[in-house]
Structures are given as structure tokens and as C-alpha cells.
Structure 1
Amino acid sequence: MTSIDKQLIQLQAVVPFEQGGQRLDQVAAQLFGEYSRSRLSTWIKEGRLTVDGAVARPRDTVHAGSSLVLDAEQEAQGEWVAQDIELDIVYEDEHLLVIDKPAGLVVHPAAGHADGTLLNALLHHVPDIVNVPRAGIVHRLDKDTTGLMVVAKTLQAQTNLVEQLQKRTVSRIYECISVGVITAGGTIDAPIGRSSSQRQRMAVTDGGKPAITHYRVLERYRSHTHVRVKLETGRTHQIRVHMSHVGYPLVGDPVYAGRFRIPPAASPSLVQSLKEFPRQALHARFLELDHPATGKRMKWESALPDDLVWLLTLLRQDREAFVG
């Protein structure tokens, strides 16, 4: 199992005049902004963040000129195995890592996937990442979804990226192949939660969390559409659930695709490719965010993988064969 020393955190700050009279947790969040408010509240309750040498409560008022001292340890976040698994790294610096995830790679250990995941690979590539919550993974892609993911290499970067995701300033744009001919783009605003009938599935449900998906048509074929999708929220299986909800499920989706459809009189190659497409036809194409340390806006692009390119080629040939 991975075993890395705890990270010592020792910081000190004086409460400025304009923050005097505010709650301790509010002031701490402003003075020690690299840590989340919930984490700071925990440290206050544990007596690791003191006011003029005394233990206080998160809701206690602090006065201008008071000395706040943070003396804490950042615990390792899990007992996971570091594994030498090849990563396709698109960008890396001391704060973050952007990878191009292949199909078949599970992001985080879970039942049935105790190891061999992206997290195990990250522990090998960046051993200190064990001290960051969820080993720096701030958003996920499904096992068989390909494309771009950002990973935080430090606690400060993780806090910043989570805030950006919550504020919806991270731009995540996907491309997919949907079953059916979509006439125009649109926005799907429908809450997503666990299916009441099948707990392994997600579904549009009144009691779900808000979920917003924007989509536009890139190219239409006889019975399918190449679609670009932008996520405003990041719910589990969001694109797969939303596109299925509006009647245009993703090709190859084993959970949400519903009835199999092929264009009439299609070539044997296209019929075979549609029937045997091994995964949901979904790729995280573009990723854009503010760098957690410099604030500079950064953007990455991942080319469509070979399996999607090949299927799009067959769909295009099929359409052209029936023009006129």
C-alpha cells in the first residue's frame, strides 16, 4: 500500500482591520484561501487553528489585530496501490496535470475495480498526490468515455479547481454520435438522480440535482448525428442520460441507448460497426480553465479517437451513397 508522510502545514496571519468582527471561519477562509472553508472549519474544531493562542469555535467573532495560527497535518487520503500504468499526458507543471484518457480506463477504485485505475497510475507518476483529496481527481469520465481530464497535483490547486467547477467557469466540451437525426441544437435543463427502478442507472427525475446540457449539430447522417455537447453542470452520466431523455441516445451506450437502429439498406461494414461499437460514442474534446496558480486562461484539445473517426467515415459514406 502507498505510504507517504503526512504533510505539515504551519501558517500564521494577523486579522486585518476590515475583517474585524467577522466569524472566525469566514476570516480564516479569506486569510488562508488555499484551503476550503469546510477544511478550515474542521481544523478550527480540532484546535489546530487558534486565535491568540486559544482554541475557538468556527462561529466565534474575531477582532482586528488578533493572531491566527494554523498548525495542522494534511492526512494521506487513502490506502491505494501505486501502479506503473502509462498515461497520455497532454500538459503538466507543478500544479496540475491534463491527461487524455483512453477507453477502458476506470478513473477511481471501486467495487470490481480495486486497482488498475487512473488513480493508481497518478500515485506512481506523482507520489505526493496521495496527500490531495481523491488523489487530485476533481472530475471524472466514465470508464469507456475518452478524452481530456484535469488533475490537481497540490491541495491548493485542488481547492481552486473545485471552486472553478462549482462556479461553472471550467469549460468542458464533448463530441458524440447520437442515434437519430437531430434537426437543431438546443439546451436540456432536466434534473438527474438515481433511477427509482434500477439503482445502477441515472435518470431524469424530479428529485434529482440540477443538470444543464447544451448541444449543437456538427453533421447529420441518414439515421445518426455528430453532436458537440457543452456541460454546464457535471452530473454522473449527464450527457448519456440527457441525450437519451430527448430521444437521441449515444451509439454503443450499453445502459441508455435503448432500441438498436440502423439506416435502411446500409452497407455491411456500417451495420457491423454500429452493432459492434464497443462503448458509448463519447469523447471529451476540449477543456478550458483558469490556471490555479497564475490565473491564466488555458485551453487543450484532444483529437477524436480512431474508433469514432472510423464510424463517422462510414456514416458519411453511407449518406453520400444515398444522396439524390
Structure 2
Amino acid sequence: MDVSILYEDENLIAVNKPEGVASIPESDKSVASLYHFLSEKYSKKIFTVHRLDKEVSGVILYALNSETHRELNLLFESRNVQKTYKALVIGKPEYEEGIVDYPLRQFGSGRMGVDKKNGKPSETYYSVLNYYNAHALLKLQPFTGRRHQLRIHMYSIGCPIAGDLKYGNREIQKKYPRLMLHAESISFEYGGRIFKITAKPPDSFTRVLEKINDNFIL
């Protein structure tokens, strides 16, 4: 597994997760995960701090001891961690920037969705970085950490993330080589230090942008 280590010390590690690799072990234990890879690399137990969907690339943190794991979890729970993503969406948002605040919950099918009556509060900030003919490149910052939050919020405003086989027109989404969502940076204060860890989008992400930039329209 080709994994780039972005930062490491005696307490935590940050890596640039490739798309298509699970953050934690899947039900089929024979399938490699980032957790397995790092456990073997460091020859010790590591601790999951947060997760990225399997289809998403970018910055992800793991703790190397239980104390750091507990303290980082508290930072996430208290919303003292800022995460920034890049996403290519199909269509164009009505406004150049805004906040999507639709409550979300999990439905019986396992899919997440908007439920304004019974859903959990969920907020996502977005701003447009670039417009294309039939797409827009966005910066996304989730203020909450619901499962599939960014994917559903973009879908709910009529701009599904390109390549998302769960949310959007499946026949159109299948034409993209990957889910066009990348966790670009994560910022937090820990141990008296301010961290900002960034990860460049992989070639699989930038190649799609280059095609879009050449007036490629699906």
C-alpha cells in the first residue's frame, strides 16, 4: 500500500489516505485497511480518531496511545477541529457561498438522508473555488461530523458530488473514475501547539479537473 505520512510524533500520525482504502477494518478481515497497514508499520496498537469514507482521499489522523486518543476525541466532540475538503460537484450552487443546515439521520436502508423533524443538527459551509461548464469546484467545511454529511448536503441542494454512487443519478455518476471528494486539511490545537496538516489531491482527482477544464462535459 502506497501511503504518504504527512506528520508523525510520539503521540499521533497523520497520513494522506488513498481513495479506495478503508480507514478501519471492514467486515471481511482479509481486505487491507489503513488501520491494518499502520498497525504493522509501527508494530503497535494504534487508535482511530476519526474516519474518512472509503471512497474519499486525504488527511486522516490516528493516535499512538490511549491518552492522545482520548484528548483528540474530546477535540472532535467539542468541535475544536477544523476540516477542509475540496469537492467537484455536478451543477452549480445558487450562491457562491453559504451554509447548508439540514438535519440528517440514517434510514433503514443504511443510507443517510435529510429529516428536518427527526434528524440530528448538521451544518456544512461551502464556497465556490471555480466554475466549469456543468460543474463547480467547492471548498467544504463541516461544522458537524455526521456520516456522509458532505455528500448528502451537496445532493440536497441539487449539486451532488461527482462520482458519488450512493447519492445522485447512478448512470451519470458511474462515468466518473472516483468520488471527487478530498480531505485537504485539518487544523487543531493540541499539547500547546497549533497544527495545520494539509494533503495535496492525488492524480486521480486532478486528472478529472483537467478534463473538466478542457470543456469535458458528461
Does the pair score TM above 0.5?
Answer: yes
2:152 aligned partner: 241
Root mean square deviation of aligned Cα: 1.8
| 1:285-304 alignment, distance < 5 Å | 285-291=184-190, 294-304=191-201
The reply on whether 1:154 has 2:65 as its aligned counterpart is yes
Partner of 1:279: helix, strand, or coil?
A: coil
1:315 aligned partner: 212
Task: State how far apart, in whole Å, the 2-side matches of 1:226 and 1:200 are.
Answer: 28
The reply on whether 1:170 has 2:67 as its aligned counterpart is no
2:40 aligned partner: 124
Percent identity (aligned): 30
Q: How has the CA–CA distance of structure 1 residues 87 and 307 changed in structure 2, closer, same or farther, with 3 Å as cutoff?
A: closer
Higher share of residues assigned strand: 2
The amino acid of 1:95's aligned partner reads N
**8 A contact 2:99–2:125 mirrored in 1:** yes
| 1:81-92 alignment, distance < 5 Å | 85-92=1-8
Q: How has the CA–CA distance of structure 1 residues 295 and 115 changed in structure 2, closer, same or farther, with 3 Å as cutoff?
A: farther
Deviations 1:89-132 (A, max 9, x none): 11100000000000111111232455411111122123332xxx
**8 A contact 2:178–2:204 mirrored in 1:** no
Task: State how far apart, in whole Å, the 2-side matches of 1:113 and 1:220 are.
Answer: 42
Partner of 2:26: helix, strand, or coil?
A: coil
**8 A contact 1:254–1:279 mirrored in 2:** no
**8 A contact 2:85–2:183 mirrored in 1:** yes
| 1:1-324 alignment, distance < 5 Å | 85-129=1-45, 135-182=46-93, 183-196=95-108, 199-205=109-115, 206-258=117-169, 276-291=175-190, 294-318=191-215
Q: How has the CA–CA distance of structure 1 residues 208 and 114 changed in structure 2, closer, same or farther, with 3 Å as cutoff?
A: farther
Task: State how far apart, in whole Å, the 2-side matches of 1:89 and 1:143 are.
Answer: 18
With 105-114 and 137-146 compared, the bigger mean Cα shift is at 105-114
Q: How has the CA–CA distance of structure 1 residues 193 and 275 changed in structure 2, closer, same or farther, with 3 Å as cutoff?
A: closer
1:22 aligned partner: none
With 211-220 and 183-192 compared, the bigger mean Cα shift is at 183-192
With 170-179 and 250-259 compared, the bigger mean Cα shift is at 250-259
**8 A contact 1:106–1:113 mirrored in 2:** no
**Structure 2 portions without partners, runs of 5+:** none
Tell me the CA shift for residue 275 of structure 1.
5.2
Task: State how far apart, in whole Å, the 2-side matches of 1:237 and 1:275 are.
Answer: 18
**Structure 1 portions without partners, runs of 5+:** 1-84, 130-134, 262-273, 320-324
Ranked by relative contact order (alpha carbons within 8 Å, sequence separation 6 or more), the top structure is: 2
Deviations 1:184-230 (A, max 9, x none): 2110111211124xx22111123222211110000011110000000
Deviations 1:232-268 (A, max 9, x none): 111111111111011110111010022656xxxxxxx
**8 A contact 2:165–2:174 mirrored in 1:** no
Deviations 1:115-155 (A, max 9, x none): 411111122123332xxxxx411110011100000111111
TM-score with structure 2 length normalisation? Answer: 0.91
Tell me the CA shift for residue 231 of structure 1.
1.1
Tell me the CA shift for residue 317 of structure 1.
2.1
**8 A contact 2:8–2:14 mirrored in 1:** yes
**8 A contact 2:21–2:55 mirrored in 1:** yes
Partner of 1:276: helix, strand, or coil?
A: coil
TM-score with structure 1 length normalisation? Answer: 0.62
